[in-house]
Amino acid sequence: MKCKAVRAAILGFLLTLAAGVPLGAQAGVEPGLDWTRVTERDLNVASVFLTARDRGPRAALDSLERLAAQDPWIRAKGHPLAHAIGRYTMEQRKDLGVIGECTPRFQSGCFHGVLEGYFLQGGTIDRASVGSICAGQVRGFERMECWHGLGHGLMVHHAGDFRQALTLCDALQADQPRRECQDGIFMERAIRAIGAESINVGDGPGIGGHAHGAEGHEGHATARSLAAGAREGAAARVMAKVAARTERQQLCSGVDSGHQRSCWAYQSMVLMSLNWPHYPRALRGCDAAPAQAVRDCYQGFGKQMLGVSSGDVPRMLEACRQGDPAHATDCLMGGVEYFTDLDWRIEPGIAFCRQVPGEAKARCYEMIGARLTLAHTDPEPVRAACRRVEPAYVRACLAGAGMRES
């Protein structure tokens, strides 16, 4: 138990460094920490940030990828660690241009972390300048990840006030940047609502471990209080727990209609956390969304399901079947988003579409085509990738990319 506590303290120390907090400000780090208990994993994680310091975020992400290939724990924490690399590098360089050294590995966490770091350092932005913050990104997916990271960063900038953050996202003129920025805000809000330990697109630890475990601890505390005869105190805690659960279930209730789709796309994360592992109950929560947002909630559920199961497609297919059949394909579309977001290579998404039921294949490959246009500005790589899908669906892939067969 002591080893675990020491290890947790060391890892917290490393991640706090990564967040850009000066050593002198780290009240939770004890000078007498027993470094003889540092594990190989602790040292491996530390080495990633030494690489970021000495050689920049691209090399650090290469290092993290090599470690993740050998250590399942690091692989599961890849996205929050990539966020931390971005924040740390921003702290070191103090130049937003460092975002150009990020890569899409680990669900593009580095892009998001750089934007968080910008605001953690007191970076400013207003309605006039918000449109230029991601202008330096050349490829479509880089701009998209930059806009998404901006949403996370604005939540940092406004201390979690999502309404203030949204006013700046809404100032973006084009639909896609505006939606990506809004998604970043509502993703950050959902993460905070479930008490996840860090930002994680996959959200496995936050759903299956941290958040669910927290409820278990509350239950044990209540049982002990009842056993001691403190019935009134226990009842108050139960009522507080019920109130908190109700509040999380209704995160989107006070959101205006123009932001409902983004809100419900990540409300699925909250529903999964509250109802884990009862998929039908979580999907019934999606059914309660406004009509225009039900599809977004189901798609978000599919994406989060793959995250919590480390990409287990059969498990995700089964979970998607347990909701309203009319939205089963919407749920499956979360798989295209999940697999292409991993590192913006299209092959994992194509492999996923090969596994979906026949009635969902055309739409699956259409979405592949749409994602390809974000990864490539040149149409030829898009056409070449669409030719690699199942022959019957080449036309669907091209249609999703806005192209025709030549």
At residue 144, the pLDDT reads: 86
Cα 296 off chain centre by: 15
CA nearest 302: which of 271, 338, 274? 338
pLDDT above 80 (res 165): yes
pLDDT band at 1 (very low <50, low <70, confident <90, very high): very low
pLDDT band at 244 (very low <50, low <70, confident <90, very high): low
Upper half-sphere CA count for residue 199 (Cβ side, 13 Å): 31
pLDDT above 80 (res 71): yes
Lowest mean pLDDT among 215-224, 262-271, 361-370: 215-224
Residues in the chain, total = 406
Output the six-digit token pair for 37: 């208990």
pLDDT above 70 (res 4): no
Distances (CA, A) of 272 to 10, 217, 291, 294, 316: 31, 18, 20, 15, 13
Lowest mean pLDDT among 8-22, 58-72, 132-146: 8-22
Q: Is the distance from CB of 398 to CB of 404 less than 8 angstroms?
A: yes
For 326-376, what is each residue's pLDDT tens digit? 999 999 999 999 999 888 889 999 999 999 999 999 999 999 999 998 888
Residue with tokens 């990506």: 180
The total of other beta-carbon atoms located within 10 Å of residue 198's CB is: 17
The helix/strand count (H/E) of the chain reads as: 21, 0
CA gap 94, 361 in Å, rounded: 46
Averaged over 47-76, what is the pLDDT? 95
Q: Is the distance from CB of 121 to CB of 157 less than 8 angstroms?
A: no
Upper half-sphere CA count for residue 292 (Cβ side, 13 Å): 8
At residue 31, the pLDDT reads: 53
Distances (CA, A) of 353 to 67, 154, 360, 379: 29, 34, 8, 21
The sign of the dihedral angle between the CA atoms of 82, 86, 88, 93 is: positive
What is the percent of the chain with per-residue pLDDT over 70, rounded to a whole number? 77
CA gap 383, 362 in Å, rounded: 16
The sign of the dihedral angle between the CA atoms of 381, 101, 310, 42 is: positive
Q: Which amino acid is at 79?
A: H
Lowest mean pLDDT among 26-40, 88-102, 112-126, 197-211: 197-211
Averaged over 303-323, what is the pLDDT? 94
- Give 12-29 as a DSSP string: HHHHHHHTT--GGG-TT-
Contacts of 3 (CB under 8 A, 6+ apart): 37
Where do the domains of the chain lie?
2-194, 204-333, 345-406
CA gap 244, 270 in Å, rounded: 12
pLDDT band at 210 (very low <50, low <70, confident <90, very high): very low
CA gap 85, 248 in Å, rounded: 30
- Where on the phi/psi map is residue 286: left (φ > 0), alpha (ψ -120 to 50), or beta? alpha
Treating both helix axes as pointing N-terminal to C-terminal, what angle do 140-157 and 162-169 enclose, rounded to 10 degrees?
Answer: 140
Output the six-digit token pair for 303: 């994406």
For 127-155, what is each residue's pLDDT tens digit? 888 888 887 665 678 888 889 999 999 99
| Mean pLDDT value across the chain | 82
pLDDT above 50 (res 189): yes
In 278-326, which ranges are continuous DSSP H helix? 279-287, 294-308, 313-320
pLDDT band at 249 (very low <50, low <70, confident <90, very high): low
At residue 33, the pLDDT reads: 62
Residue with tokens 């022959």: 391
pLDDT band at 32 (very low <50, low <70, confident <90, very high): low
